[in-house]
A and B are shown apart, each in its own frame.
Chain A
Amino acid sequence: MKAICWYGKDDVRVDTVPDPKILNQSDAVIKITSTAICGSDLHLLNGYIPTMQKGDILGHEFMGIVEETGSEVKNLKRGDRVVVPFTISCGNCFFCQKEMFSLCDNSNPNAWMAEKLYGYSPSGLFGFSHMMGGYAGGQAEYARVPFADVGPIKVPDELEDEQVLFLSDIFPTAYMAAENCRIEPGDTVAIWGAGPVGLLAIKSAFMLGAGRVISIDSVEERMALARQAGAETLDFNDEEGVLELLKQKTGGRGPDSCLDAVGLEAHGTSMGAIYDRIKATAFLATDRPNALRQAIVGCRKGGTVSVPGVYGGLLDKMPIGAAFNKALTIKMGQTHVQHYLKPLLARIKGGEIDPSFIITHRMRLEDAPEGYASFKHKQDNCIKIVLKPGQSAATTNGH
């Protein structure tokens, strides 16, 4: 089959690889109909995530048709149409039974690697480094899905791929991030980043009762979408400074909660941001937490900071004094996707939200390397790319 493989920094290629097989009897093999490139895939492209190996198949946002199931799979059969969560979870361990699926004890065969860095290992993830299990990803024609009775959710035929595809990651990620904001009716939520997660987090925050959402970004087409989603916008590069503007916009109190949907590769021109770039380049630190710093300093007293943006390693110059003295609550983590699948599918089905509004590009699987490049450089107004394995250019040529 054809698959998108990682070969190094800024080097992803279309490769022909062996078709996936059932390895455990609780596995399924899925024929992929739609698969997306995630902002966190750019962290892999940019070489920020350790323990990638040449030839690794990328991709963790995918859906398709069940092709084959292992003998122990009970909930799925050949021909079922499913969306696959990016978190791989066994369903039986202490954490899965508490519905903390991204913390599954059993799904990471390379748990020892993660333990060296994190003390304890989170769950395995598709296509996201060997430290996270080294599972082959879903930017391919087929994928092996472990624990097929626990992860994949069947989706009704009347919903298009594009309406449900983002249940695999970014819609639950945005929704959990909004939930982590502990929103009370009428709250003001500030969201750093108006990429796919940031945009879906705006919608989610309103669903959870926010009175106002302030979206902070600097890319005009993203800010336009944020406004369409109901948010006020604030330019990250505004000379008055984000923190001052936030204070003015919230009557001097500050937002009730702040959400960092940017993560470890935040941009910025502040002294802190420049310092981060130098340190990260010299490998003295791995993450550039500019958005997170602002979220902490910008948040009102007693407020909540929610972090769905991916952080992988070490960071520096955290305003811990601001967090402590303002008695902030900080909530973060990879998404417990399985916990959110049913309620969010119901919201899509009920017409409350159509997450496909973030899609700007549809491409053939084979065009993924160009897709990665334009996504990275935000060329051609690129916000979200959906790849369609097995389809010709003619049917995917839509913006």
Chain B
Amino acid sequence: MSSPATSITNVGTRSDDKTDATRNKSSRKPSVNVGSTERTISTVGGAALALYGLSRGSLAGIAIAAIGGGLIYRGTTGHCNVYEAINVDTAHGKHGGVSVPGNSGIKVEKSITINKPASELYKYWRNFENLPRFMDHLESVTVSGEKNSHWVAKAPAGTTVEWDAEIINEKENELIAWRSLEGADVDNAGSVRFEEATGGRGTVVKVSIEYNPPGGIVGATIAKLFGEEPNQQVQEDLRRFKQVMETGARSTTEGQSAGAGR
């Protein structure tokens, strides 16, 4: 069976997408197909890349500067040729309650085995306010109802992004699935599944996270250049979840003694 995060992305009506794309293609001057948050990130990120590229002065530096220039164009005009070519439009609203429109986002699936019963792990995770204890990109999650919560996540350059989320599927001790609601800074959806490992070896925890990165796919690529790799991030979140559940705390050396490092 496919994960709930996958299935919810297929809920939307695809005809809206096509309409938007057709409209963009038919206009003569470069039309706006990039959302406003994304345009800002494109412009700022593009400028940073351009400056970085120029300062290197090498052939690779010139290439980086050119990419930066392209991003500035994209940010200031709101038009992305790449998006046009792949029929993506992040400027024009939502599509029938879909959190992450089909195949346009980033999807990460990871799993880990934890030496604890599923019931214990489920109970901890089900209280979303615990999530920032092991998901480092989260600043806070506030539970506002049986199914609803408000999430604040860290974004580049000390900023934050926020969204409301609802639980769309749950089965005690087995599964929790959630997604962001209309008006989210970052559209996202996720699910976690708890399965008993063979031979009494604890519980296999399978997580699927899907999101539309701020700045689109291009933004995600820039983020990767600066070390924010979503696969690694989810893996580390799971590792910390395991540490917290198996040992009561995250393993750390932060704040330990060291020489001055001359």
Residues of A whose CB lies within 8 Å of any CB of B are 1, 3, 5, 7, 13, 15, 17-21, 23-26, 53-57, 72, 90-94, 97, 105-109, 111-112, 124, 133-136, 140, 144, 146-147
Contact = CB atoms under 8 A, between A and B. Distances in A.
B246 A20 contact: no
A53, A92, A134 interface centre (most CB from chain B within 10 Å): A92
A107 B258 contact: no
Contacts of A5: 258-259
Interface size class of B (residues with CB under 8 A): 20 to 34
Nearest to B239: A111
Contact of A17 (B239, B252, B258): B258
A7 B260 CA distance: 10
Contact of A105 (B242, B248, B258): B242
A188 B142 CA distance: 67
Contacts of A140: 257
Contacts of B201: 94
A285 B249 CA distance: 38
A97 B115 contact: yes
B114 to A, nearest CB: 9
Nearest to A109: B251
B262 interface: yes
B196 to A, nearest CB: 14
Given A1-B257, A106-B243, A136-B258, A26 B235 contact: no
B2 interface: no
A110 to B, nearest CB: 8
Nearest to A140: B257
What 8 A-B pairs have minimum CB-CB distances, sorted nearest first? A55-B259, A5-B259, A55-B261, A15-B259, A54-B261, A55-B258, A90-B247, A17-B257
B113, B242, B258, B261 interface centre (most CB from chain A within 10 Å): B258
Contacts of B242: 105-106
A150 B6 CA distance: 42
B251 A108 contact: yes
B257 A20 contact: yes
A21 B255 contact: yes
Interface in B227-262: 232, 235-236, 239, 242-243, 246-262
A111 B236 CA distance: 9
Given A17-B257, A56-B259, A133-B251, 20 more contacts: A3-B257, A5-B259, A13-B259, A15-B259, A15-B260, A19-B257, A21-B255, A23-B252, A23-B254, A54-B262, A55-B261, A91-B247, A92-B246, A92-B247, A94-B115, A105-B246, A106-B242, A106-B243, A136-B253, A146-B251
B113, B239, B242 interface centre (most CB from chain A within 10 Å): B239
B246, B254, B256 interface centre (most CB from chain A within 10 Å): B256
A169 B255 CA distance: 26
Contacts of A94: 113, 115, 201-202
Contacts of A112: 232, 235-236, 239
B144 to A, nearest CB: 31
A19 B258 CA distance: 9
Contact of B257 (A18, A105, A109, A133): A18
Contacts of A56: 258-259
A147 B247 CA distance: 9
Contacts of B250: 24, 109
A388 B242 CA distance: 39
Contacts of B259: 3, 5, 7, 13, 15, 17, 54-57
28 contacts: A5-B259, A7-B262, A15-B260, A17-B259, A18-B257, A20-B257, A23-B253, A25-B248, A26-B247, A53-B261, A54-B261, A55-B258, A57-B257, A93-B115, A94-B113, A97-B115, A105-B242, A106-B246, A108-B251, A109-B251, A109-B252, A109-B253, A124-B251, A133-B253, A135-B256, A136-B253, A136-B256, A136-B257
Contacts of A23: 252-256
Contacts of B251: 24, 90, 106-109, 124, 133, 146
Contacts of A53: 261
Nearest to A13: B259
Nearest to B113: A94
A109 B239 CA distance: 9
A313 B251 CA distance: 25
A112 B113 CA distance: 16
Contacts of B247: 26, 90-93, 106, 147
Contacts of A108: 251
A3, A20, A92, A106 interface centre (most CB from chain B within 10 Å): A106
A3, A25, A105, A108 interface centre (most CB from chain B within 10 Å): A105
Contacts of B243: 90, 106
A3 to B, nearest CB: 7
A56 B233 CA distance: 26
B248 A26 contact: yes
A144 B260 contact: no
B246 A55 contact: no
Nearest to B251: A109
A270 B251 CA distance: 45
A123 B60 CA distance: 40
A109 B236 CA distance: 10
A320 B256 CA distance: 43
Interface in B58-117: 113, 115
Interface in B112-167: 113, 115
A20 B115 CA distance: 31
A92 B116 CA distance: 9
Contacts of A124: 251
A99 to B, nearest CB: 14
B258 A57 contact: yes
B142 to A, nearest CB: 26
